[in-house]
Structure 1
């Protein structure tokens, strides 16, 4: 039986003592959307100010899009906290808009705004009229702005968007009676494309972008400062590794930062080095993939420049693509049709499939039911590869300026089918996501494992995953809706 001194630490109070070993008073890298830890990067601050101004001016509908882990929920909570200080604004938050029908959404809004449940026999029109009367009363008599904030907006179905559009029709001569802000992932952009009468009503359309190296460093220092420590716990190469491994996504920065501090405590170290960050990142597949000698050289050059040329420092953005990869755009005839896979039940298992022959007519591949989409992956015809000069190597040129290279698992025209595949892939690859492209005038949902700024990194990662897990993968280049096959 354990003595008192040998008892394991299990309570939250005991766990906090771990941080006291580093001089911290609270957990600095919490993954909860705490407004107290909101970091005012240039992009996040701009989005926050634009949304707040839109509410004050009662402009109606506003949308904020961002990739997974880009800080949408924290921005949402910060905005609500600011509005809560103003008695003339009444925010209402919907955390999970998973409504199968428009009536479910309407009943939820009725209950939130009127603070009572509608009669089970109430019709759509009756509930809309009751909401209209309430909106007029709040705006004209109480002089309050009702704000509907929806998180995870990509879950909204078109019928629910129609309900919101109808509510936005209620207005005075100079202002909307209901203010709506929708925070959603990137795929919501494709939903909006299907409802142009809703998209046209958007007043502010904000996008959250990944953090730069300097913002990544500032975010880490900001978090540590709020946790009660003034000295730097990270070396310069560690900051660099954090940025490259996380690709500037705040959620990944929080995850790596937490693991790095735990490593410090376990190993009784005082500072997070680059090797510590890489040791935490490699098991997650977030290896920043940079030669150690280059990191040392870059760090030494940076420190020397800071010492010798204060006030006159100019550093090119770290994320700029290699100019040697930039080439002329290729004709549309060389674009490759997205790969089609059936959604796996648990996780893809390698199967023996013969590649599509060079005389395959890609126009014959149509969208349809999930069973219809379980086709073999389409390979680029040999004639195309010969004409374009492509080869199955680890160095493929960039054809679209500002593009990124994605490790593609599959491409689908059925969004529900693509979403099921993405959910399955994410069980093992947290960096998985979905990007939307256009091919021959048709929208496609591309499910990917990860994405990089160069084809070399994407191909290297794809080879590792294919060798370890037996997945049939491809590397594609995407810029906006432009899509091109690079490697398989």
Structure 2
């Protein structure tokens, strides 16, 4: 059973814009939000809904965008798109040319777009931005051969302005907002409903969510989770453990909740 994801009304419109850009193969998109606001969760929910089939997408994830040089990113992409890597003696140019040929071939043979999600994008070296720019140069019938989605914090988005060749290619900027008290309450209740068949998995989701909410100072989110636990069935076998965790991790460390 798939982990439930709560579609915030504030973020639903942003997700629709992002999917429309991906579907139409417009090229580069960015998802902007504070840590723990749900950038990765939103993208993974899009993948869950639209991956596969002729009308969906072929997603690939890079969990971190902390590449220090051009060669680092090219080597990782070569491994994503090819089962057999080129020889260590192959030049960077040869690897990049093969990658671009592969993307063109995939674009011709598969109606669904190839989408590369790069999470946790920090300040990238100039050479790394040049790889992203080069990948977005190739088109087939007016559509980009690869769709790139960069997930980043607001302060890192400002760094793109230093690279006008990349900045000018951004089609959609989706701004993810943290969940409010009522939204978090609904999200946590959805998780608790699935505790019986998937206890450990969904408890870990709540624990992670609480950790982010606490660390990044979102008291409304913490209160939402607390409220969901109070209203959940008392016979829920996981409830005492989560309440103890709340007391230890959150309630003891925060005031005024």
Would the TM-score normalized by the shorter structure come out above 0.5? Answer: yes
In the other structure, the counterpart of 2:38 is 71
Mapped pair 1:283 → 2:252: yes
Distance 2:15 2:85 in 1: 33
Distance 2:73 2:246 in 1: 44
**Superposed displacement of residue 156, structure 1:** 3.5
Mapped pair 1:114 → 2:86: no
Structure 2 SS opposite 1:209: coil
Q: Specify which structure has the bigger relative contact order, considering alpha-carbon pairs within 8 angstroms and separated by 6 or more residues.
A: 2
**Superposed displacement of residue 138, structure 1:** 0.9
Distance 1:136 1:99, change over 3 A: same
**TM superposition score normalised by structure 1:** 0.42
| Residue in structure 2 matching 1:59, options 8, 17, 26 | 26
Mapped pair 1:221 → 2:193: no
2:107 and 2:140 in contact (8 A); partners too: no
Deviation string 1:24-67 (CA, Å, 9 cap, x unpaired) is xxxxxxxxxx9622101112322322222211111110100111
Distance 1:277 1:108, change over 3 A: closer
**Superposed displacement of residue 219, structure 1:** 2.2
Distance 1:266 1:114, change over 3 A: closer
Structure 2 SS opposite 1:47: helix
Larger radius of gyration: 1
Mapped pair 1:43 → 2:10: yes
In the other structure, the counterpart of 1:246 is 218
**Superposed displacement of residue 108, structure 1:** 1.0
**Superposed displacement of residue 256, structure 1:** 5.8
Distance 1:226 1:155, change over 3 A: farther
Q: Structure 1: which 5+ residue stretches go unaligned?
A: 1-33, 229-241, 290-488
Structure 1 SS opposite 2:151: strand
Distance 2:19 2:26 in 1: 10
Distance 2:136 2:2 in 1: 28
**Superposed displacement of residue 164, structure 1:** 0.7
2:57 and 2:115 in contact (8 A); partners too: yes
Structure 2 SS opposite 1:151: strand
Distance 1:37 1:197, change over 3 A: same
Deviation string 1:322-356 (CA, Å, 9 cap, x unpaired) is xxxxxxxxxxxxxxxxxxxxxxxxxxxxxxxxxxx
Distance 1:282 1:54 in 2: 42
In the other structure, the counterpart of 1:402 is none
Mapped pair 1:212 → 2:180: yes
**Superposed displacement of residue 86, structure 1:** 2.5
Distance 1:76 1:49 in 2: 11
Count of equivalent residues: 233
User: Could you say which structure has the higher helix fraction?
Assistant: 2
| Residue in structure 2 matching 1:265, options 240, 245, 251 | 240
1:65 and 1:184 in contact (8 A); partners too: yes
Distance 1:123 1:253, change over 3 A: farther
2:47 and 2:57 in contact (8 A); partners too: no
Q: Structure 2: which 5+ residue stretches go unaligned?
A: 197-212
Structure 1 SS opposite 2:90: coil
Distance 2:239 2:72 in 1: 49
Distance 1:94 1:132, change over 3 A: same
| Residue in structure 1 matching 2:132, options 139, 164, 171 | 164
**Superposed displacement of residue 161, structure 1:** 1.7
Over aligned residues, Cα RMSD in angstroms?
A: 3.5
1:66 and 1:72 in contact (8 A); partners too: yes
In the other structure, the counterpart of 1:128 is 96
- Listed as ranges, the matches of 1:432-451 within 5 Å are none
Distance 1:101 1:62 in 2: 22
